[in-house]
A = this chain, B = another copy of it.
Amino acid sequence: MKSLADRIEQYLKVLIERSDCKTLEVQRTELAETFGCAPSQITYVLATRFTREEGFITESRRGGKGYVRIRRVDRETVPNAGVCSQEEAFARLEVLLKRGLLSRREVELLKCVMSQKVLGPMGLETDFLRAKMLHAVCELLNV
């Protein structure tokens, strides 16, 4: 027995495969109407079936003429090394500052480049990536 969510998922995936650039742009409300469900159902489908781990990146715009864009990207292999959340990374940078190994400005630069906002919709691997970045910095500093 297929659920509504399953059917919406299927529908979107067909459209994406047919599209140029593996990119699809739809309106949440419109799609919800097509399937006769609540708009938040669409959000649910995107959140559970079009995640970064599944190989999708979604972006959207609110307000008038808003949209949801789904892009299928090549799934990369995630080698399992360390992970590091934004908070953790920021804290470690502050430590390096305290120890006099980085200047305030350097910390700010690195923070902005490691922020969740920038690493953006890359999903879980964000933390993996951040760990590698931090590691590289420490190596450069010989610490």
Contact = CB atoms under 8 A, between A and B. Distances in A.
Contacts of A79: 120-121
Given A74-B124, A113-B113, A133-B113, A108 B140 contact: yes
A76 interface: yes
A124 B76 CA distance: 9
B121 A77 contact: yes
A120 B76 CA distance: 10
A73 interface: yes
Chain A: interface size category: 35 or more
Interface in A99-140: 102, 105-106, 108-110, 112-115, 117-125, 129, 132-133, 135-137, 139-140
A118 B140 contact: no
Interface of A: 1-3, 6, 27, 64-65, 67, 73-74, 76-77, 79, 102, 105-106, 108-110, 112-115, 117-125, 129, 132-133, 135-137, 139-140
8 contacts: A74-B124, A76-B125, A110-B110, A112-B136, A113-B137, A120-B129, A120-B132, A122-B129
